[in-house]
Amino acid sequence: MIDGHLVPDAIVLRVVKHRLDDPDVQRRGFLLDGFPRTEPQATALIELLGDNPLDAVVNLEVPAAVVRKRLLVRRVCTRCETPTVARNREHTVYCQNCGGTAVRRPDDSPESIERRLAAYEEQAGPLLAVFAKAGMLVEIDSLGSPDDVFDRVMRALQPTLWGTGEAVG
Ligand SMILES: [Zn+2]
């Protein structure tokens, strides 16, 4: 992971299955972030969930150039793990929460970011096609402020999660 490589599918699926079987998840539901990343993982997840399928799959759409820019200034506190944003690429910042030092995550090196973006470029199309075919895919334009994006997500998911209208397609 430090080199920007991803964990093998069999391990990821075993970890996900183990957690999804927990009583609190069974009772309250769940949100997966960053998984599945590939078409085989998506197919395996759909199979794993069987008669209790996902309500929706949200794709936060951001151009690669913007993702690259965001990742290069991302910092995380070494003491309390609060995420923060640097003003430029090299800048070390102090944590707003605890005053600790916030640094770049080891997997946010420029080389690692390029590897992840290249992997995404290759895998995203087939991955999203699986969920589009299953009628679960919700595409969200994710440029703008976190609040704007959050509002778009909530509006898009409302019919699916609270059943006030037709299904999101
Ligand atoms: Zn901190």
Q: What spacing in Å lies between the alpha carbon of 84 and ligand 1's midpoint?
A: 9
pLDDT value for 1: 65
Q: What spacing in Å lies between the alpha carbon of 169 and ligand 1's midpoint?
A: 41
Q: What spacing in Å lies between the alpha carbon of 100 and ligand 1's midpoint?
A: 5
Report the alpha-carbon distance of residue 4 to residue 115 in Å, rounded. Answer: 7
Q: For every one of its 169 residues, what pLDDT tens digit does the chain have, with 9 covering 90 and above?
A: 667 676 788 888 889 999 999 999 989 999 998 889 889 999 999 998 988 899 999 999 999 999 999 899 999 999 999 999 998 767 789 999 999 999 998 888 889 999 999 999 999 999 999 999 999 999 999 999 999 999 999 999 998 887 755 544 4
Q: What spacing in Å lies between the alpha carbon of 83 and ligand 1's midpoint?
A: 8
pLDDT value for 10: 84
Contacts of 65-71 with C-beta under 8 Å, sequence gap 24+, read 66/143, 67/117, 68/113, 68/114, 68/117, 71/108, 71/113
Number of neighbouring beta carbons within 10 Å of residue 123 = 18
Q: What spacing in Å lies between the alpha carbon of 64 and ligand 1's midpoint?
A: 29
Q: In this structure, is the dihedral angle defined by the CA atoms of residues 116, 57, 18 and 39, taken in order, positive or negative?
A: negative
Helix (H, G, I), strand (E, B) or coil at 169: coil
pLDDT value for 12: 86
Q: Which residues contact 73 (CB under 8 A, 6 or more apart)?
A: 85, 86, 87, 88, 89, 91
Q: What spacing in Å lies between the alpha carbon of 121 and ligand 1's midpoint?
A: 33
Q: What spacing in Å lies between the alpha carbon of 90 and ligand 1's midpoint?
A: 19
The whole-model pTM stands at 0.76
